Amino acid sequence: MVEVRGLKKRYGDKWAVNGIDFDVKKGEIFGILGPNGAGKTTTLEMMETLRPIDGGTVLIDGIDVAKEPQKIKYIIGVQPQSPSFQDKTRLTEVIKMFAAAYGEKVDPMKFLRDVDLEDKAKSYVEDLSGGQKQRLSITTALVHGPKVFFLDEPTTGLDPQARRHLWELIKKVRDRGISVVMTTHYMDEAELLCDRIAIMDNGKIIAIDTPKNLIRALLKRGFKKEQHVEQANLEDVFIDLTGKGLRDA
Amino acid sequence: MRSIKKSLFTVLTFVEVDTRRYFRDRLAIFFTVIFPLIFLFVFGSLNSGDNSVSFRVALLNKSDSEIAQQVVKQLKDGGILNINEDATTLEKAKELMIKSQLDATIVVPEDYGTVKEGEVAPSGQMEVIYTQNNDESGAALASVLKDVSSKIVPVEVPFTVKTEQLNSKSLSPFDYTFAGLLGFAIIGMGIFGPINVFPELKKMGILRRLSTTPITVWQYFLSTMISQLIIGVLSLSIMFLVAIFVFNLNVVGNWLELIAFLVMGTIMILGIGLALGGWAKNERQAAPLSNIIVFPMMFLSGTFFPRFLMPEWLQNISGFLPLTPVIEGIRLIATEGQHLWQIAPQLGMILAWTAVIYVIAFRVFRWE
């Protein structure tokens, strides 16, 4: 679905992205990991038509992003790092506007139901919690039925319940056959959610595989972690005590 | 055809939501409707008083002759003098004159109107006292008093001046003020609107998110334009209603032509806001540039005071500012009843500016 070949981006005389290659298959969750400044967001933005490509190509469903950005916009959905909406807009109106941006008329309630926001339909966006805004943003990015869905650090700043809920949503999106490309700083998120991951550093991809294979390869190289045979971690305790129910109602 | 329809659907949906949002935003309503109305009331009440000259004077009558009484009564009833009743002594009057609360003091001396030794008829001389910077009112007042005095004792003057009043009404100061205030309201909506909103939308990443959808700059501009025009029609209609019913504005021109002209003027001025707001990455970039562009127009295009008061060279320059033809056109149509084809220079200038401004606005627009 997505083919990236020799992709490059330069800021001043520094290559923020320095010749990367990867493919994303239909209906998989592909994670891009890396420390700050590794070039994750820049890579995403070039694929989303937000930034000019300085070298290499990105093909999405066979269409060249650099040559036909307007066509690309119809087949991608974008979730920004911190989604925000204009005040005094009702949730139904947000959906209506985004659908209209693609020239389409949709039933806003259907899309709100997809992300469990139907009882907030008449609220203004400024009355939503962080997690609810993320969910609204996800559903607005899917109003036109895109083939590829990009998310930039979708769970940063959310509480454990909201994170889990969002993971489930992202999996549902994948199960509809949409390819998901996301960046994240959370290793647990990458391990649990992503079918394959690419690890970036200094503008280059230094490893690319399924999380399991990457861990196996590391162990094969003779890596040993101090053994703590614990059957639970603190997050398990937290979820056990506070439950999985969402708290932003 | 289908794609044009789709494009327009996009635009109209944005207009609909934008307009709804506007009516939920009290602050926006204040700045677009109430704020210009406040200016209208302030300038309207400054200008709507009767426009005959009036002097603020102290009248000190020391004589009790019958003629003196008669003169004083004439002066009081004449309507030209606004007599300050507090100033009863010369000292008090002088103090008020120095504070510029009085233009002059008229003193009627004790012997005024009495028959003096060796004369047959009563005579007298009034004194007009004024300060240095009131030369003109002093002189004008002296001639007013001469006029009053001559009415008491008829004198045959061989050469006289006959005055005739023209039937056509001249433009009142309010006619100028109102056209200027409409210009001010148009600037407020068209320029300050986008300048305040766009950088904010960029900061929040809302425009950036929008740019990942297929919506084009022209669709976005058009939707902003239409929703601003809806708000503009509302705001300007309220101003017209207040001007007509409170300040007796007399609109003699054709309303349809006036509306068409206002729409064209608003679209042009809105282009300036779209260019500035669309270019600026944040408020810090937007503010100084907009001040450089807005303030000269505010003061030189006839917004708060008519351009004919300016020196000729300044009038020549300010004639080319985008807002000038808008204000002049409004006045020419509304209060002089001219038709669109009669104000071709103003229309041409607006169309030329519209073309220039929108070319710039499209070029400099940034989604982030």
What b/e string do you get for B326-355 counting C-beta neighbours within 10 Å, with b at 16 or more?
bbbbbbbbbbeebebeebeebbebbeebbe
- Of B325, B368, B329, nearest to B349 (Cα)? B325
**pLDDT single digits (tens) A54-67:** 999 999 999 999 99
Interface touch A105/B205, C-beta < 8 Å: no
B139: contact with A, CB 8 A cutoff: no
Looking at residue B344, what is its pLDDT?
A: 93
Identify the residue with better confidence: A235 or A70.
A70
pLDDT for position B126: 81
- Which residues of B are less than 8 Å from A74 in CB distance? 214
3-state secondary structure of B81: strand
Q: Which of B13, B208, B215 is closest, CB to CB, to A80? A: B208
Nearest CA in chain A to B28: A88
Radius of gyration of chain B (CA): 29
Contact A87 B25 (CB under 8 A): yes
Size of chain A in residues: 249
Query: Is some CB atom of chain A closer than 8 A to the CB atom of B174?
Result: no
pLDDT score recorded for residue B155: 61
* pLDDT at position B133: 75
Strands A55-60 and A148-152: unpaired
Contact residues, B window 210-229, toward A, CB-based 8 Å cutoff: 210-215
Give the integer Cα–Cα distance in Å for A97 and A179. 24
The predicted structure's pLDDT at residue A248 = 63
| Domains delineated in chain B | 2-48+172-364 (no CATH), 55-152 (3.40.1710.10)
Chain B residues with CB under 8 Å of A86 CB are 21, 201, 206
Tell me the per-residue pLDDT of A160-184, one tens digit each, with 9 for 90 and over.
888 898 999 999 999 999 999 999 9
CB-CB under 8 Å, B14 with A97: yes
CB-neighbour burial class of residue B91 (10 A; exposed 0-12, middle 13-18, buried 19+): exposed
The pLDDT tens digits for B321-349 are: 999 999 999 989 988 889 999 999 999 99
* Residue B1: predicted pLDDT: 59
Mark the ranges of chain B whose per-residue pLDDT is less than 50: none
Asked if B9 and A100 come within 8 Å (Cβ–Cβ), the reply is yes
pLDDT for the residue numbered B53: 60
**A49 and B212: CB-CB below 8 Å?**
yes
Predicted confidence at residue A25, as pLDDT, reads 93
The model's confidence at residue A48, banded by pLDDT at 50, 70 and 90, is: very high
Cβ(B274)–Cβ(B224) below 8 Å = yes
**Per-residue pLDDT for A111 more than 90?**
yes
Q: Work out the average pLDDT over A78-83.
A: 89
Chain mean pLDDT for chain A: 90
- Residue A249 reports pLDDT greater than 70: no
Chain A residues 153-192 with a CB less than 8 Å from chain B: none
Give the pLDDT of residue B168. Answer: 59
* A130 contacts chain B (CB < 8 A): no
Q: Among partner residues A49, A80, A102, which is closest to B209 by beta-carbon distance?
A: A80
Q: Crossing angle of helices B217-245/B255-279, nearest 10°?
A: 130
A199 bridge partner residues: A33, A207
pLDDT of residue B238: 92
- Residue B90 has a pLDDT of 83
